Amino acid sequence: MNGLLNFTLSASASDFGFGGVLTLLCGLALFLYGMDVMGEGLKKSAGNSLKTILAKMTSNPVKGFFLGLGVTLIIQSSSATTVMVVGFVNSGTMTLVQSVGVIMGANVGTAITAWLTALNSLGGEGGSEAVEILSVLKPDSWVPIVAIIGICLTLFIKRGRKKDLGVILLGFVVLMTGMTMMSDAVSPLKGDPDFAKILMMFENPVLGILAGLVLTAIVQSSSASVGILQALTVTGAISYGAAIPIVMGQNIGTCVTAMLSSLGANKNGKRAAIVHLSFNVIGVVLVSIIFYTLNAFISFAFVDIAIDAWGIALVHTLFKIACVALISPFYKQLAKLSTLLVKDSKDDKETSTLLDDRLLDTPTVAVERATQVVASMAELSTKAITDSISLFGAYDSKLADSIRDVENKVDNLEDAIGSYLIKVSANTTDQKDSEQVTKLLHIIGDYERISDHAVNIVESCEEIKDKKISFSEDAERELKVLISAVSDILALSYRAFTENDLDAASKIDPLEQVVDDLCDKIKLNHIIRLQKSECTIEHGFVLSDILTNFERVSDHCSNIGGCVIEIAKYDALDMHKYNRKNHNSEDFEQMYKEYSAAYSI
């Protein structure tokens, strides 16, 4: 490719015309595409790492900084990280104050790309032994090998980390090829006085900052605009004095992506985007004042020296570190500033968007967020049953209404989570994520039905109150034993799902069998009492409804436990096969006997 470019492009500036512009644009397109491919590959490969990192979210700004730094190093895009942060704040996963440290870390993390693209400038002309050694490190020498490895991994590996690695390598190859094309396209401008005059205009800080801002806003990536600037350094016409304000402007321009992403967010999501923007704007103002004030008195010698790609990477990194050093002590004030800029209205009752579509670009993170929301749904359903049981002792109309409200909320959650998981499933190719999506889709149905049974129990309690029904002492004693068993199975299923506790999950099925036995025994005892005229048919109707609801709650708990075990152990979901195997095991028999003894009537 380099040979073809060298043949096409002459070394004279006069040859840089329409063809040179097309080559430059082609190089930029490849650079952006390579970055996108490499970033997507890194996201897939680092799926579990992202989960681990994101699980350590904290209000501690130092840990938040390293969280943002780590995530950005993994996915190679501060814009993507910031968009994720907007999604987290919008969904309530992260507080606004937490987001400040993460955004600062993301700004520093993106500097690594500039150091990678600077490799393109290694070696050169001169013939010295040192230059010869550096030429070996130049991408032209080893990128073809990387390309061969990448294409082999992509073509011959069906799935998994190795295939993801192949995608990452190919993305890097395309990125470096685009960088080479951009450098070769502008090399004919070397020594062109007219081009040099244009670039010298950007030594004016205001013009330089505006140029960097506009360029980055157009390409939607500070890494890409820095890469373009690095490519232009081959002309030798860009000085440190011109590059510094452009780099500062690029850091403001990269905020455009997050600002656009926040348009559909709630107020806290918008504030997170404002934090990103204000951090960079304030950083540019402070660094500009300090640098140009010092330069006025000291007159830095390096300002007029021509900068190279490594110099751009250095300026880019030092600027970001300087911004963090100057602003980090005031991270709380930065959050307050965003709150002042995006104010709450008096009638604002805005709630967090629990499942934010911005997270779909990183399926692993979206799955993790969906899991958290399903855990909240599980907690609501479990509490609804517990609250409904409490109405047997003392009916409370307010609590009854509250249970119905919870049931409506759980219904809405099931619809929202189900739709969201379908979108996640369409975006992910990771096997573990797909298995988790399958598990969640099954479990939300069970928890939704459990909340329905909570309302059914409320209605039974209302009937008992309205008809002034009172059960016999034996019936009440039997119901207490059954309620204790149902409460236990609810707690086991909740722990099995939220903690992925296989030991708890294995105890659910034996206890579910005991609940079934208890329901049958209570029905039989009721018939005996009915024959002895110790209770009435009316008692029997209410009791039958209560037993049916408790029995079905335990069935849904059994489904949840079986689902957790099947996905964890066999990477599949075959409940019929699981039930056959489980019911015939010695462990099942042993636990069944223990629960039968514990919940005996």
Say which CATH number the domain at 547 has.
1.20.58.220
Q: Is the pLDDT of residue 450 over 90?
A: yes
pLDDT at 356: 76
pLDDT band at residue 264, thresholds of 50, 70 and 90? low
Is the domain of 323 the same as that of 369? no
Is the domain of 332 the same as that of 371? no
Q: Is the pLDDT of residue 5 over 80?
A: no
pLDDT band at residue 47, thresholds of 50, 70 and 90? low
Would you tell me the crossing angle of helices 47-54 and 431-466 to the nearest 10 degrees?
A: 50
pLDDT at 488: 94
pLDDT at 121: 62
Whether 463 maps to a domain, the answer reads: yes
Whether 10 maps to a domain, the answer reads: no
Whether 47 maps to a domain, the answer reads: yes
| Position 405, amino acid | D
Whether 352 maps to a domain, the answer reads: no
CA nearest 107: which of 7, 226, 187? 226
Q: Distances in Å between the alpha carbon of 142 and those of 99, 137, 169, 173, 269?
A: 39, 7, 12, 10, 43
What is the three-state SS of 42-108? HHHHCHHHHHHHHCCCCCCHHHHHHHHHHHHHHHCCHHHHHHHHHHHHHHCCCCHHHHHHHHHHHHH
pLDDT at 430: 74
Q: Is the pLDDT of residue 278 over 80?
A: yes
Question: Each residue of 565-587: pLDDT tens digit?
Answer: 888 776 555 555 555 555 566 78
Q: 54 or 330: which carries more pLDDT confidence?
A: 330
Q: Is the pLDDT of residue 191 over 90?
A: no
pLDDT at 176: 75
- Is 152 in a helix, a strand, or coil? helix
pLDDT band at residue 95, thresholds of 50, 70 and 90? confident
Is the domain of 238 the same as that of 111? yes
Is the domain of 418 the same as that of 478? yes
**Residues in Cβ contact with 163 at an 8 Å cutoff, skipping those fewer than 6 apart:** 153, 154, 157
Domain count, the chain: 2
pLDDT at 13: 41
Q: 213 or 44: which carries more pLDDT confidence?
A: 213
Is the domain of 420 the same as that of 300? no
Question: Each residue of 370-408: pLDDT tens digit?
Answer: 898 999 999 999 999 999 999 887 888 899 999 999 999
Average pLDDT over residues 99-113: 84
Last residue of a domain, one of 285, 315, 341: 341
Last residue of a domain, one of 311, 341, 371: 341
pLDDT at 126: 44
Is the domain of 130 the same as that of 207? yes
Is the domain of 313 the same as that of 280? yes
Average pLDDT over residues 242-256: 87
User: How many angstroms separate the CA atoms of 600 and 597, rounded?
Assistant: 5
Mean per-residue pLDDT of the chain: 79
Last residue of a domain, one of 341, 375, 407: 341
Measure CA of the first residue to CA of the last residue in the chain; give whole Å: 83
Question: Each residue of 217-239: pLDDT tens digit?
Answer: 877 777 777 888 887 887 777 88
Question: Each residue of 317-376: pLDDT tens digit?
Answer: 999 999 999 998 888 888 888 888 887 655 444 445 677 777 787 788 888 888 989 999
CA nearest 106: which of 82, 83, 87, 89? 82
Q: Is the pTM of this model over 0.85?
A: no
Q: 475 or 203: which carries more pLDDT confidence?
A: 475
pLDDT band at residue 12, thresholds of 50, 70 and 90? very low
Question: Each residue of 520-543: pLDDT tens digit?
Answer: 998 888 888 777 776 777 777 888
pLDDT band at residue 490, thresholds of 50, 70 and 90? very high
Q: Is the pLDDT of residue 15 over 70?
A: no
Q: Is the pLDDT of residue 11 over 70?
A: no
Whether 155 maps to a domain, the answer reads: yes
Whether 3 maps to a domain, the answer reads: no
Is the domain of 265 the same as that of 395? no
Average pLDDT over residues 152-165: 78
Is the domain of 152 the same as that of 244? yes
Q: How many CB atoms lie within 10 A of CB 574?
A: 12
Q: Is the pLDDT of residue 89 over 60?
A: yes
Q: Which residues form the domain of 548?
A: 357-598
DSSP secondary structure code for residue 110 in this structure:
T
Is the domain of 529 the same as that of 584? yes
Whether 7 maps to a domain, the answer reads: no
Q: Is the pLDDT of residue 590 over 60?
A: yes
Whether 348 maps to a domain, the answer reads: no
Average pLDDT over residues 44-73: 69
Q: Is the pLDDT of residue 144 over 60?
A: yes
Is the domain of 208 the same as that of 132? yes
Is the domain of 377 the same as that of 507? yes
pLDDT band at residue 54, thresholds of 50, 70 and 90? low
pLDDT band at residue 453, thresholds of 50, 70 and 90? very high
Q: Is the pLDDT of residue 192 over 70?
A: no
Tokens 């075990």 correspond to: 565
pLDDT at 81: 76
Tokens 């039930």 correspond to: 579
Q: What percent of the chain has pLDDT over 70?
A: 80
